[in-house]
Amino acid sequence: MVNWFPLESNPEVLTTYSSSLGLKSSYVFSDLVALEDWAFAMLPGKCEAVVFLYSLSQPQREYHDNFIPPEGRDSTSSLFRVQQNVGNACGTIGVLHSIGSVRSKYSDCLEEGSWFETFFNKCEGKTGAENGALLEADEEIETKHTSAANSSANSSAQVASADSNVNEHFVAFVEHNGGVYEMDGRRGGGEGLFHGKGGLSEVVGRVCQEYMARDPSSNKFSLVALCKVD
């Protein structure tokens, strides 16, 4: 498997990176400092998705291996998904899942002719595995990812190389048809884990607290919200 340099869970890095790929300036990533309602209320705009970083510890792996979704899942045929075929690319996968969800609600969120617009148009009607193959073969996104990973704001670049054994993983929580899904490129075809009906803040708060309770010795948890600021 080809490896990229790892991205850091850093809103400045993710905002600059996404802007370079064509996300309009009315959308920014911002630190989500807690899981209570007051923390969501402090965000600079409406929270449209949450990118979550955690350690791939044994308790978390066992949870995913034995996950049983709650009832109430609707059709997800229109939910954008992309499979991760490149090592350390989970940060980019999380960004794509977040912005793919935003694009389904706000058709004007991307700059015309941008990389994002071109890529998402190519993905129309394709499976997550097919989208993953498109991403893997795209030299421009690899260059942009590397530039973001090596930026001065990305402290991971100071301690990790493309061949580093990184044990942290990004997923994205998105809303779809009244439910919340945890989009994970490691799962077959980038399939989303359905966590139930409800608002994004309510479900993300509950699920991420459960992540932390499963692995209380870890200090690797981080949340960044994708916000619509106007």
Per-10-residue mean pLDDT, the chain, length 230: 90 97 98 97 98 95 89 81 95 98 95 98 95 96 94 59 74 95 90 91 96 94 96
Domain 11-228, CATH among 3.40.50.11540, 3.30.70.890, 3.40.532.10, 3.40.190.10:
3.40.532.10
Indicate which residue of 90, 109, 123, 227 is catalytic.
Answer: 90
Joined together, the tokens standing for residue 161 give: 């190389």
In DSSP terms, which residues pair with 227 in a beta bridge?
A: 28, 47
Distance CA 143, CA 217 (A): 35
- Which sign does the torsion angle of CA 41, 46, 49, 51 carry? negative
Contact yes or no for 135/4 (Cβ under 8 A):
no
What distance lies between CA 118 and its chain's CA centroid?
19
Q: Helix crossing, 115-123 with 11-21: angle to 10°?
A: 80
Joined together, the tokens standing for residue 12 give: 């400045």
pLDDT for the residue numbered 164: 61
Distance CA 119, CA 42 (A): 32
Distance CA 224, CA 219 (A): 16
Distance CA 177, CA 198 (A): 10
Joined together, the tokens standing for residue 150 give: 């090596």
Indicate which residue of 97, 109, 145, 169 is catalytic.
Answer: 169
**Residue ranges of domains in the chain:** 11-228
| Catalytic status, residue 227 | no
**Ramachandran category for residue 196: left, alpha or beta (phi over 0 → left; psi -120 to 50 → alpha):** left
| Catalytic status, residue 90 | yes
Nearest to 140 by CA among 162, 113, 160: 113
Distance CA 48, CA 88 (A): 24
Using alpha carbons, list the distances in angstroms from residue 52 to 110, 121, 134, 207: 23, 26, 24, 11
pLDDT for the residue numbered 158: 47
Q: How far apart are the first and last CA of the chain?
A: 40
Distance CA 124, CA 6 (A): 28
Contact yes or no for 105/182 (Cβ under 8 A):
no
**Ramachandran category for residue 55: left, alpha or beta (phi over 0 → left; psi -120 to 50 → alpha):** beta
